[in-house]
Structure 1
Amino acid sequence: MADIFSVSVKEIVDEHKLEVIYAPKDISEILVYDNDCNRPGLQLMGFYEYFNAERIQICGNMEFAYLASLDEEVRRARIETLFKTKIPLFVVARGHELYPEMIELAKEYEIPIVRTPESTTTFIAALIAFLNLRLAPRITRHGVLIEVYGEGVLIVGESGVGKSETAIELVKRGHRLVADDAVEIRRVSSISLVGSSPDNIRHFLELRGIGIINIRRLFGIGSVKVTEKIDLIVELEPWEKDKIYDRMGIDNEYTTILGVKIPSLTIPIKPGRNLAVILEVAAMNNRQKKMGYNAAQDLLDNLGLQMDTKDKVKNWDSF
């Protein structure tokens, strides 16, 4: 069974600086589970087919103009029908003044009401972006997430392979640490993953022989970042003499996490290899590929050869 995530009304109010008009109880106890919202124009006209009462309802100029066209008795009945569905939150946009019956019915049916001076469209866009992030499907994976030249690089591999040591060298070279050891990965859209660190271990990093260090304290605020989109997955593994490693980069390797395909690389390690420099080059090369340039293709074109590209996909969803 899939995990069900929620966000409290208090978090929504704090994030968007909303004015609380009425709350039936502590708003930190009122939870929202749906990452979409609704403008209840049709519902105020009496149409409730396909209506999802778990969504936040937002009223702006159009809804208030329609309510103003109704006589008081009809208006009260339409608002009551909406509030009877037990919606989690009623938002008034553009700073509109509420009708007295709205407050009265909100108290009767225990519906929290908040207000924003923002336009309805602007507020909805910001709210959906916030809800998509907070309610996104997520998993936690062992690894290190670091931003390298604007690319989010997730470093994975067996324990003790050198992930944290590579991360500390990258931080010294001016890049930013997002998470060490445990990376919380969220699918914020059908094509995007965002990684972050659990709150209780954020900015901490373990170095064998030294122990726990605080990257933010040692290297400053510019050395860390709270979240980062995952653009590339790099798996570090001990060099195996008999294994054949990709030397041209012709084949495209991907790793699927939460249904999203992310470009990936396997980098063998042995004494003398500068992993920090290798990962910097990998990040820049990945950005180049996204911009449409492939060095292997360019070389083969110069040699008059054709490139037979294959996609190799590894699925983490089943792990």
Structure 2
Amino acid sequence: MANIAKLLAGRAQHVLQVAAKQPQLAPRFFASAANLEYIKHEVTGEKKNVAVITLNRPKALNALCNGLMLELSQALDTYERDANVAAIVITGSEKAFAAGADIKEMQSNTYSDCIMGNFLNDWTRVARCQKPIIAAVNGYALGGGCELAMMCDIIYAGEKAKFGQPEIALGTIPGAGGTQRLTRAVGKSKAMEICLTGNMISAVEAEKMGLVSKVLPADQLVSEAIKLGEKIGTHSGLIVQLCKEAVNTAYETTLQEGLKFERRTFHATFATEDRKEGMTAFVEKRPAKFSNL
């Protein structure tokens, strides 16, 4: 027994030494070994370069709680540092992407608790991720679930998906971007109607409003989202991140500020090897081989 224990200890030490030499792989190793309660995650796709994070609270229709958001943040930390991952898909079940925030968890909160604890401040990790995130929404995406989807860069929806901000019926308002991101996505009038009535909208309506990029059969949703991630992964990861930042700048600033940021970012790409390779490959009529440099 002593020899076995010594052997296992030696192997553990070896893993730690390897992880220390390869920091981009270390978080992935330990995250996959963690005992996760609220999410599942894996790397998939033909090139194993798309991470899929699945919200996994089936009995609560994937209601968002602090524990779930913490695990989601940790998974994003892992994949953001993993050089092999080009894009991330966040999804739920066929019944619910996320039916809202966990009301029982917040029911006893006071104004003082919310202010002193900066409640919901840590729920925005998805919006801060540098890599592209695709929300694959089946079923209910209500309240915090709708807000989580809107934190992602692209939303694909199943045919029976339902979106909404029903907080008004609970005597409160959206607190994780519902009044802000929704207004920017669909305009003031539609956002007012959704937020002030609490009514749900269908996937088709959401697509017409511009909230959703594409509506798909439920059984094809995740696979199509993965294909989208794979398509993004054929390009330079460096340039993809710069482009994502430029689009987000348009979303968050004035036109003139956005145009200046875009132009300077465009100029900056000329300092990269991938811009040189991309244009050279085009002229030479061959596929580009990007190096993220």
The bucket for the TM-score relative to the shorter chain is under 0.3
Higher strand share: 1
Higher helix share: 2
TM-score relative to the length of structure 2: 0.28
Please tell me whether Structure 1 or Structure 2 has the larger radius of gyration of its CA atoms. 1
TM-score relative to the length of structure 1: 0.26
